[in-house]
Amino acid sequence: MMLHIKNGVVIDPKNNVNAEKMDVFVKDGKIVDESDVKREDCKVIDASNKLVVAGGVDMHAHIAGSKINTGREMRPEEMRVVRNIAGKFRAAIGRVLLTSPAIGYEYSKMGYTTAFEAAQPPVGALHTHEELDAIPLVDKGALPVFGNWHLVFKYVAEKDIEKLKTFIAWALERTKGFGVKVVNPGGVEAWMYGGNCKSLDDSVPGFDVTPREIITSLIQATEELKLNHSVHLHCNNLGTPGNYQTTLETMKLAGKFSNDKRQVLHVTHVQFNSYAGSSWRDVGSGAAEIAKYVNSVDNITIDMGQPIFGHATAMTGDAPFQFTLHKLTGARWSNKDSEIEGGAGIVPLIYLPKNPIHALQWAIGLELGLLIDSDKVVLSTDYPNGGPFTEYPYIMAMLMSKKMREKELERVSPYVQKATNLAAIDNEKTLFELIHMTRSLPSRVLGLDNKGHLGIGADADIAIYDLNPENVDTSNDFETVYKTFKKAVYTIKGGEIVVKDGELVKDLWGTTYWVDATGKVSMEAIDADLDEYFANYYSLERSNYGVEEAWLRNATKLIMG
């Protein structure tokens, strides 16, 4: 099908288009030049006075795999909100923890067209991909976790970067993974003995390695392999007062690496790692220090991990943190073990505006979003850890309006005034910046050249909103901004109209991206080690490990070569 999106007001940060009236043409799922289509064959979409942007890209959410599924099992109370009755579309339910179809539908209604699962237990890769295959309307990918894998420890301890590179390539191929996720490196292994690695130099029990060495080696290996995406790091010491210093130290590890195309380290849901103070009694914000450092370097990006007041579910590969959270809140807790690769935990959570700690977390997320250069900070709620992704429009509106922040500050705990600087921040991001933070920036961070922009050759993933950037005053019209971004007038996925006026009109399946770097290494180098580890430590045989490409509904292989 060919489309002619007529008279829209386009914001396309990657191509330096800021609120220009122009037409967009689509053919065979791609954005094409006007000369490539026959106008009379095009379906015309009148976008007069409407904002035309690329489809949203969520580079960090937990949307598939054993964690969210355990969350669904242990939270039946989350499953009582009916979003769609089975009929033309699939049944979709969930309050914040959504079922797989609901995840695809809700992203799409909001104008998002790509979402990445940010922590795939490698041994649970098949489950993760089965669930990704059940999410309609968005393109997907999954980041397997490496930071507590015994084989990673082994090569890091042996300082054998070549073998580590080979191992990463092998693991990405076997798990159909997209990049290198690292969660509390070493700490989850220590948790197997009831401990944790709270600083970069804590030794991992049973292995002669430290978090510092693990992170540095994984960055080096990832950069030498030139993977699409950099190391994607959930820092040590998450959720602890005073942890912003660990975060800063960790960020400095990226100092000696650089890459022309993208960051060399993406630090994720930084809000949870930006606490000052020495205990929960005097906890404060370390956001300003984090922002200062991130702004001063050009090889690090972050995402916010913004909490949204209301229901959430904490689920991370950081098993020891989840246990701490369970002890702190008294809420239900589930622990997951993924053999010699790490683990995870799940704890239900509710963010209350009057709770000083929750209000502080909320304020720190916003501080990071406001203080950090919009070319370095991606919007995220770390769904469902900070809350629902369906509230991204809330974050967008908040970052663009001081007036809205003042209004919201009135309803939160006054502790925020004491422990953070949020009230004094006058910065208001522009619509152009927010479009970048939700589209072109996450695409660049992931290394997906064909996503997040409207240039010729890009995927025809387009969102149209009922908002004319020329007439809207984002500082004052925050309610309009919020409502507008909740419901796209059109969502176009791969050239097909899937949402119209915020309602689903067509069901289709996106693709799952995975990265194949096996051509850059020689697999024989680690063959004997793999055989040994599968024979001695895994509960399954090497020949049964992993996911074949043919098993995925619709896979796209990105070959590194």
Partner 1 sequence: MIVLKPKVDFAISVEAEITPELATMSVEEISKFQVYYGKEKVELGELFEISKEGDDAKLVLDGDFGKVKWVGARMEDGEIVVKGDIGDHCGAYMKGGKITVEGDAKDWLGAEMKGGEITVKGNARNYMGSAYWGDATGMSGGKITVEGNVFNYIGEKMSGGEMVIKGNAGDFIGTEMKGGTITIHGNCGFVGGDMKDGVIKVKGNFEVVPGFKRVEDGFEGDVNSGGKGKIIQL
Q: Which residues bind partner 1 (CB under 8 A)?
A: 74-78, 80, 85-86
Torsion angle in degrees (nearest 10) through CA of 290, 295, 301, 305: 40
CB of 85 to partner 1, least distance (A): 6
CB of 210 to partner 1, least distance (A): 41
CB of 348 to partner 1, least distance (A): 8
Closer to partner 1 by Cβ: residue 74 or 558: 74
Interatomic CA distance for residues 558 and 561, integer angstroms: 9
Distance of alpha carbon 59 from the chain centroid? 3
Closer to partner 1 by Cβ: residue 53 or 97: 97
CB of 336 to partner 1, least distance (A): 19
Closer to partner 1 by Cβ: residue 78 or 133: 78
Backbone angles phi, psi at 83, to 5 degrees: -100, -30
CB of 90 to partner 1, least distance (A): 13
Task: Give the DSSP H/E element, type plus range, for residue 219.
Answer: helix 211-225
Residue 264, C-beta contacts closer than 8 angstroms, at least 6 positions apart: 219, 222, 223, 230, 231, 254, 257, 258, 299, 300
CB of 319 to partner 1, least distance (A): 22
Closer to partner 1 by Cβ: residue 1 or 85: 85
Closer to partner 1 by Cβ: residue 331 or 525: 331
CB of 76 to partner 1, least distance (A): 4
Q: Do 467 and 41 contact (CB within 8 A), yes or no?
A: no
CB of 311 to partner 1, least distance (A): 11
Interatomic CA distance for residues 478 and 397, integer angstroms: 5
Residues in a beta bridge with 10: 20, 52
CB of 87 to partner 1, least distance (A): 8
Tokens of 198: 């709270």
CA-wise closest residue to 143 among 195, 216, 65: 65
Q: Do 429 and 399 contact (CB within 8 A), yes or no?
A: yes
| Residue found under tokens 């080690």 | 529
Single-letter code of the amino acid located at 495: G
Interatomic CA distance for residues 43 and 139, integer angstroms: 24
Closer to partner 1 by Cβ: residue 86 or 528: 86
Instruction: Tell me how far CA of residue 376 lies from CA of 212, 233, 424, 434, in angstroms.
Output: 23, 15, 22, 12
Single-letter code of the amino acid located at 165: K
Q: What is the DSSP letter of 340?
A: G
Closer to partner 1 by Cβ: residue 17 or 97: 97
Closer to partner 1 by Cβ: residue 78 or 173: 78
Closer to partner 1 by Cβ: residue 38 or 80: 80
Closer to partner 1 by Cβ: residue 311 or 436: 311
Instruction: Tell me how far CA of residue 190 lies from CA of 155, 213, 231, 327, in angstroms.
Output: 18, 16, 21, 18
Task: Give the DSSP H/E element, type plus range, for residue 349.
Answer: strand 343-351
Q: What is the DSSP letter of 439?
A: I
CB of 312 to partner 1, least distance (A): 15
CB of 351 to partner 1, least distance (A): 16
Estimate the share of the chain in helix, then strand, then coil, as percent rounded to the nearest 5.
Answer: 40, 20, 40
CB of 147 to partner 1, least distance (A): 32
Task: Give the DSSP H/E element, type plus range, for residue 311.
Answer: strand 310-316
CA-wise closest residue to 320 among 459, 177, 186, 124: 186
| Residue found under tokens 């009582």 | 80
CB of 77 to partner 1, least distance (A): 3
Closer to partner 1 by Cβ: residue 44 or 82: 82
Sign of the C-alpha dihedral, residues 29, 33, 34, 38?
negative
CB of 486 to partner 1, least distance (A): 25
Closer to partner 1 by Cβ: residue 261 or 332: 332
Interatomic CA distance for residues 401 and 399, integer angstroms: 6
Closer to partner 1 by Cβ: residue 218 or 312: 312
**Exposure letters 280-296 (e unless 16+ CB within 10 A, then b):** eeebbbbbbbbbebbee
Task: Give the DSSP H/E element, type plus range, for residue 5.
Answer: strand 2-12
Instruction: Tell me how far CA of residue 110 lies from CA of 11, 75, 142, 443, 470, in angstroms.
Output: 17, 25, 21, 17, 21
Interatomic CA distance for residues 204 and 152, integer angstroms: 12
Closer to partner 1 by Cβ: residue 75 or 140: 75
